Amino acid sequence: MACDSAFDAFRQATEYLEPDLRKRAYYRGIWLNLIMRGEYARWSGLNLRTFTIERSEPTSDNETWPKVAFSNGDASSCGTTWNDVQYGYTEQAYNPEQFGLRGPVICQDDLIYDWNTDAFLNRYLNALSHRSQRSIENRYMAIYTHLVDKNVTDSGFTKANGATGTLGTGAPNLTGLPQATCSLQQGNLEEVAYELIEEGATSPDEDGWITLGEDGPIFPLYIGVEASQQILRQNADLRQDYRDGDTGMGDAARLLKRAGATKVIGNFRHVPNIFPARFQWIPTGGGNGNYQRVNTWVMPSKSKGKGAEINPQWRDAPFEAAYVLTPWVFKSNLIRPVNQSNNLRWNPKDYFGEWEFVVGGNVISETQDCYDPRRKLGQHFAEYKHAPEPLYPKYGRMVIFRRCPDSDVTCITCAS
């Protein structure tokens, strides 16, 4: 019977090989730290709704207050005019979603003959862990993008409301946004800060994401290193050393230590993003178009197997996004598996991306026609299930801007 090809990333010892194995470094994202997590309530079905009680305020700042007076000599002054109070809530739907990953097939006997297999496996398992983490981070960012309001750096700094309800199965829909024509400026960010303050996104949290400074609330801005440096050059007089970061005191220090933030400009603490989301503009006719995210990585073939390299199209993409972060945009409700019910029992499972090694060719083969009586073939599987519950999407923001790399590099010629 046919079996899937076994993992071919080990090295056979056919000649002398150096004992050291080198490993490419991974970057650490911020989304797993940012998003709050809860537990999905059992027996809740697949269609859930969340309700946000909205503020009730007068629509006129100059309401009419009639003077109390007698009417036609009548001694009664009970003729009160009643004004109705307007009240409401926002209802948003959300649903559970799932994602699965699997590694290559591994043959037990290969571990006997191939060279330095323990070291190879350690690196391989480490790569699986990072791969699972990156998928979760990308999904969290996509949900965040879907829910929050967006700004585009055109001449009017156009703003679009965030979407309601559940994100579809793929990328967030960015249709209807105009093409960005300007680079990101401090003035754009100040306008965003004013609106966030008006929306009430100013309460400090115990994890130090939002703090209070001398000039009011300080929001974390997840921004590319290049864009952050340009704003710093343009606003050197606004930069301040965030002293708590040096002394190790206060809420800000915890975020500085965790995320590597180095500077505060105005109402924003810049959190460096080594690989920010970048986009290309796809024209749809009539001057309209759509933003399409450019994949950060490609997986070209190596000596054995494949390895991640930075996508050249990502390096040259004309548009980029920065995010104002808050843990209050949505919550990821994790789904606890039912491993036992009444007299029914299953092997324990995990739905938060933990890798499980499953053995048996007839079990791991999709066609189930792999004859493996000694169960020598095995494969890693990871499964993720959660329900993203919207909380306060107005507290976050996404800003899309045109990348305008600095070109003021001075060429100093040599004397000889």
Across-strand partners of 394?
none
The pLDDT of residue 22 is 42
Quick check: is 112 in a domain? yes
Residue 260 corresponds to which amino acid? Answer: G
Task: Report how far residue 209's alpha carbon sits from residue 269's, in angstroms, rounded to the nearest whole number.
Answer: 9
The pLDDT of residue 188 is 96
Residue by residue, what is the 3-state secondary structure of 328-374? CCEEEEECCCCCEECCEECCCCCCEEEEEEEECHHHHCCCCCCCCCC
The pLDDT of residue 278 is 97
Across-strand partners of 239?
265
Evaluate whether 54 touches 89 at the Cβ level (below 8 Å): yes
Domain around 117: 25-55+90-147+349-390
Q: How many CB atoms lie within 10 A of CB 250?
A: 16
Quick check: is 373 in a domain? yes
**22-78 residue pLDDT tens:** 444 555 678 988 998 888 877 777 777 777 777 777 878 787 887 777 766 555 567
Task: Report how far residue 242's alpha carbon sits from residue 265's, in angstroms, rounded to the nearest whole number.
Answer: 10
Task: Report how far residue 315's alpha carbon sits from residue 296's, in angstroms, rounded to the nearest whole number.
Answer: 8
Evaluate whether 355 touches 124 at the Cβ level (below 8 Å): no
Quick check: is 134 in a domain? yes
Quick check: is 35 in a domain? yes
Closest among 203, 220, 241, 195 to 394, alpha carbons compared = 195
Quick check: is 332 in a domain? no
Quick check: is 396 in a domain? no
- DSSP SS3 for 391: coil
The pLDDT of residue 167 is 85
Closest among 405, 335, 8 to 184, alpha carbons compared = 405
* Longest CA–CA separation in the chain, Å: 116
Evaluate whether 40 touches 98 at the Cβ level (below 8 Å): no
Quick check: is 141 in a domain? yes
**234-263 residue pLDDT tens:** 766 555 544 444 444 455 555 544 444 567
The pLDDT of residue 344 is 78
Q: What are the 10-residue block averages of pLDDT along the chain, 416 residues in total?
A: 63 42 56 88 77 76 78 64 81 84 85 71 81 90 95 95 84 90 94 93 78 84 92 68 46 49 82 94 84 92 80 96 94 84 77 85 82 87 91 94 78 78
Count of structural domains, the chain: 1
